[in-house]
Each structure stands twice: as structure tokens, then as C-alpha cells.
Structure 1
Amino acid sequence: MAQGPDRRYMTHTQAEAAGVDVGLRSYMLRVYNYMALGVAFTGALAMIVATNQALVQTVSSLIWVFFIAILGLGFFAPRIMTTKSVAAAQACFWVYAALWGILLGPIFYVYAQMDPMIIVRAFFITAATFAGMSLVGYTTKKDLSGLGTFFMMASIGILVAILINVFFVQSTLMSLITSIGVVLLFSGITAYETQQIKTMYSAGDMGDVVAKKAIFGAYMLYGTFVVLFIHVLNILGIMRE
């Protein structure tokens, strides 16, 4: 049976590095598991809403209320997750996931009328894209921190373009172009965030500190995954039409 390195023959630096490596893997696994649970919860809630006509109509009539709530929580959640208790961090994460699930319900309903398999294909395309780019972010030796400002400004620019199209232009072609831009941009953001989450880890982290970091990391990746999914879904829907 294969065994790990014998610490008796390690230098102090080697033993310390091995400890960090094991701890880092455990921490990242915790991040991904938490994020996956959030995505599953959102998907289940979205399907519940999508299969209930009354709920679809109610959520559709309040769509901007939920959207503003998501933006508001997205703004305050990082501070709460990093400065408050683990319970508060968990509450923020699950409320955020629930809001997205409710908001996605009417969207699922529309695409289910078109072709239910579009939702499935969009999920697997998103999952494959996310996994590949997150692996890049985890393994690359290149420092991606300098891209943070660019990603922020590009996200604002695309958001403005989307809102202009929704309220004024209402062009299918522009919707397709902006969705392609979002997919490309958030693929890069996935790698960037993964590296940032990785660098947040410290071998000295214990108890609540590492728990809150894992929840915050899951929250970052979860949001990126959902945005990717929505725009992959939009691309597939437009291409089908």
C-alpha cells in the first residue's frame, strides 16, 4: 500500500510545506463542496417554482424586487461573511442561494416550454467550463491578481450593456453578443477567483476562521457559476430559435 512521505526524514521546511499542502486541499475541497450544495439547492428551488404556475406568476410580478435583493445581499455579504459569526456567514450564503433559486424559477419555466433539455445542456456546459477554468486558476503559477480591476470594470460595462438592451434596444443579436461576452469574462473571473481563494488560505487558520473563509470562497464561486449558467442558457435558447 502506498504511503505518504515519512516525516522522520523531512526537514522542518519540507514538513511544514507538506502540512500546508494537505490543509490547502482540505480547505479547497470544503469550498467546492459548499458551492456545489448551494448550486444544488438553487436548482431544486428553481424547479419547484418553475413547476407551479401561481409561483411563476408571483415571482415574475416581483422580478425586480428579487433582483435588487440579490444585488443588495451581494454587496453586503462579503463584509458579513468575513467579520461576523460562522452562523451569519452561512445564513448569508443560503439566503443568497435561495434568492437566486426563486429568480431562476420563471426562467426555467420559459425554457422548459421551449425544450427542457436546454436547461440540462446549459448546466453541463457551464459545469465543464467552470471546472476547467477553476483548475487553471488553482494550478497556474502566474499571478492573476493584477486582473482584478479589469474584471471589475468589464463586469460593469457588460451590466450596463445588458440593461440598455433590456430597457431600450431589445435586440436578440445584442443579447447574444452580451451573453457571449459574459461567458468569456466570467470564465476568466473563475480562474481569478479560484487563485484568490487559494491565496486566502493560511496554515495557521483554525476553527471559525477557516470555516468563514471556506464559506466566503464558496459564495464567490457560486455567484460566478450562476451567472455563467444564465448566459450559457441564453445563448443556447437564442441559437435554438
Structure 2
Amino acid sequence: MSEFNEAQYRNPAASMDMSVDQGLRSFMLGVYNKMALGLLWSAVLAYVTSVPPIANMLYVIDPNSGALAGYTGLGWVVAFAPLVVILGSSFMMKNPSKTGANLLYWGIVTLIGAGLGAWVLLYTSSSLALTFLVTASAFGALSLFGYTTKKDMTGFGSFLIMAVWGLIAGFLVNMFLKSGPMDLILSGAGVLIFSGLIAFETQKLKYTYYAIGGDETQLSVATSYGALNLYISFINLFQMLLRFLGDRR
């Protein structure tokens, strides 16, 4: 029985037609709705933290152009807080409750949103809007691919997750080197990595739904974690594309 369940988790498409499963559709819609609300909340926080007096608490702003010139101590704390919370939660929340998963989602979304004011100060409004539309279109296509493909992406996803940590290390090193060409190379790699992760995470959600069955508590936890993973991938893909498409102030 355990071998059958594992095979069904890894590739449930082999045993059922998921495109007509109303339960799966409802579950995926819940994930996308929660992610969309997170993006909306992040946009609100990005605006709030880009205008005085809050912006002056987080950022060093050029008095002539009004553009971002650096971070204050509190700004650096806000910038790295989401990564710290994500790492901490992976150790402390082994069996999260419905409430715990929900609080984790909104906590991380709030922290990330609070740090997005830097993008508003660094790039023009028109380039932010254009990049968001490009990111949203790419996300839709990639998520649709992950939902409909019959190919098991489990091994590919494991490689991508390791690549993310390499990407983070590369950007941390480049904070000291300040190399323009290295930044572009890392950004290009980031576009590919997070594009792949969006497709992988969508397929993983589909597999997770069938592995859980009808357990409402586990489905609620999976909704929060699924929305969080897709939200983070969306935000990172947006950031990487912004380095290519964004016009600085």
C-alpha cells in the first residue's frame, strides 16, 4: 500500500484525469487567491514604505532625485528579516497548524512587502508596472505548464532549490564586489531558476492535493504553504526581470 501511495503522490496523472477534478480546482483556486491577496498587500506596503516618514526610517534617499541611495540599519533588518524567518520556520514548524501556517504566510508577506519600498524608490513607476505585467504573464504560462504537464518534475525541482541557495550566495558575494556583469549573469540565472520553480511548485501542489485526500486541516496548511512558495517565486522573478527591464530614477 505504501508503494502505491508514493507512486500516486509522485505522478497521480498516471491514474486519474486531474483536469476535471473539482476538488483540485477549488484547492488551486484557493492557493492563487491567497497569493493574489499577498501581492496586493505587498503593493500597499511598498507604497507606504516609500514615502516619508517611514521611508526615512528605512532608506537613505538622494535629496535631489528622491531615489534610493542606501539603507539605514533598520532598513537592512527589514531586508533580511524574511530570509531569517523562512530559515527559522523550516526548523521550528515541523508540524504546522492551520493557524500557524496562516500566520507564517502573512508574516513573511508583510516583511517582504515592507522591504519593497526600495524598488519604488529605485525604479520608475512605468517600468515597475511593465515588469509586473511581464512577470504576471510569465507566471500564468509557467504555472499552467506545471499544472498540465505529465512529466514528473520532482528531480528537477530538487536541483532548482539547490540552485536558489547558490544564487543567494552569489548575490551576497556581489554585494561586496559590486560587479555589474556578475549582477547581470546572476539575474539571468535567477530568471531561469524561478521560472522553473513556478512550474515545479504548481505541479507539487497538484501532487500534494491527492496525497492529502480530504483532510481539511492539511489542505488549509498546504494552501498557505503553496501560496507562500508561489508568492516568493513570483516576487523573485519580478526582481530579476526588473534588473533587465527597469528604468532607474
Question: What's the TM-score bracket when you normalise by the shorter of the two chains?
Answer: 0.7 to 0.9
Q: How does 1:5-154 map to 2 (within 5 A)?
A: 21-50=21-50, 52-60=51-59, 61=72, 62-77=74-89, 83-111=95-123, 115-154=124-163
Which residue of the other structure, out of 223, 236, 241, is the alignment partner of 2:245?
A: 236
Structure 2, unmatched stretches of 5+, are: 1-15, 60-71
> By how many angstroms is 1:163 displaced?
1.5
Q: Which amino acid aligns with 2:168?
A: L
Equivalent residues of 2:18, 2:24 under 8 A apart: no
Q: Deviations over 1:142-184 (max 9, x none)?
A: 000011331122212222221121112x122222221111011
Q: Deviations over 1:14-33 (max 9, x none)?
A: xx978981111110111111
**CA 1:79 to 1:86, structure 2 compared with 1: closer, same or farther past 3 Å?**
farther
- The percent of aligned pairs where both chains have the same amino acid is 37
**Corresponding residue for 1:8?**
none
For 2:165 and 2:18, how far apart are their aligned partners in 1?
41
Question: What's the TM-score once normalised by structure 1's chain length?
Answer: 0.83
> By how many angstroms is 1:72 displaced?
1.8
RMSD (Å), alpha carbons: 2.3
**Corresponding residue for 1:11?**
none
Q: How does 1:151-190 map to 2 (within 5 A)?
A: 151-168=160-177, 170-190=178-198
Q: Deviations over 1:46-90 (max 9, x none)?
A: 01111x133123123123212332112212445677623222211
**CA 1:77 to 1:132, structure 2 compared with 1: closer, same or farther past 3 Å?**
farther
Equivalent residues of 1:162, 1:178 under 8 A apart: yes
Equivalent residues of 2:45, 2:113 under 8 A apart: yes
Question: What's the TM-score once normalised by structure 2's chain length?
Answer: 0.81
> By how many angstroms is 1:237 displaced?
2.8
Q: Which has the higher helix share?
A: 1
Q: How many residues align?
A: 220
Q: Which amino acid aligns with 1:56?
A: A
- Higher mean alpha-carbon deviation, 80-89 vs 217-226, is at 80-89
For 1:236 and 1:17, how far apart are their aligned partners in 2?
39
**CA 1:18 to 1:42, structure 2 compared with 1: closer, same or farther past 3 Å?**
closer
Equivalent residues of 1:80, 1:89 under 8 A apart: no
Q: Which amino acid aligns with 1:101?
A: G
SS of 2:53's partner is helix
Which residue of the other structure, out of 209, 218, 222, is the alignment partner of 1:201?
A: 209
